[in-house]
Amino acid sequence: AQSVTQLDSQVPVFEEAPVELRCNYSSSVSVYLFWYVQYPNQGLQLLLKYLSGSTLVESINGFEAEFNKSQTSFHLRKPSVHISDTAEYFCAVSDSRTGGSYIPTFGRGTSLIVHP
C-alpha cells in the first residue's frame, strides 16, 4: 500500500517570494511521482512528473520538484511566485512495477495563497 503526506494544508506567501510545498510518500516498492494543480471550480492539471532519470524535474511555468529517494520526498518549489499561482496543489504517487497497481494515490492537498 502507498500513502502520500502533504505536511502543510495551507501555505500563505507574498508575491515574488520563494515557496516550497512539501510531499512525503510511503511505499514498499519503486514509484512514479506527480504534482497536480487545481484552480477553483476546475479539475486537476498535471504540473510535473518524475518517472526516471534526473531527480530534478521542471514545469513550463517555473515550478520544480526533486525526487529524494532516501527521504522519500518530492517537494515542489518555485523561486518567485505570482498571484496567478494561487491554487490547490496535490502530490500523487503510483506503483512503477510492471504489473503493479496503476492507480495513483493522492495527498490531501496544499492550498497555496499568494498575497500581493
Partner 1 sequence: DAGVTQSPTHLIKTRGQQVTLRCSPISGHKSVSWYQQVLGQGPQFIFQYYEKEERGRGNFPDRFSARQFPNYSSELNVNALLLGDSALYLCASSPGTHSNQPQHFGDGTRLSIL
Residues binding partner 1 (CB under 8 A): 4, 9, 32, 34, 36, 41-46, 49, 51, 90, 92, 94-96, 100-109
- Report residue 41 CA to chain centroid gap: 20
Nearer to partner 1, 15 or 44 (CB): 44
C-alpha cell at 85: 499561482
Nearer to partner 1, 24 or 94 (CB): 94
Nearest distance from C-beta of residue 60 to partner 1, angstroms: 14
Nearer to partner 1, 61 or 80 (CB): 61
Alpha-carbon distances of 63 from 29, 76, 77, rounded to whole Å: 26, 7, 6
Nearer to partner 1, 10 or 80 (CB): 10
β-pair partners for 23: none
Taking the C-alpha atoms of residue 16 and residue 13, their distance in angstroms, rounded to an integer, is: 9
Q: Would you mind telling me the total number of residues written for the chain in this entry?
A: 116
Residue among 63, 113, 67, 71 at smallest CA distance from 88:
113
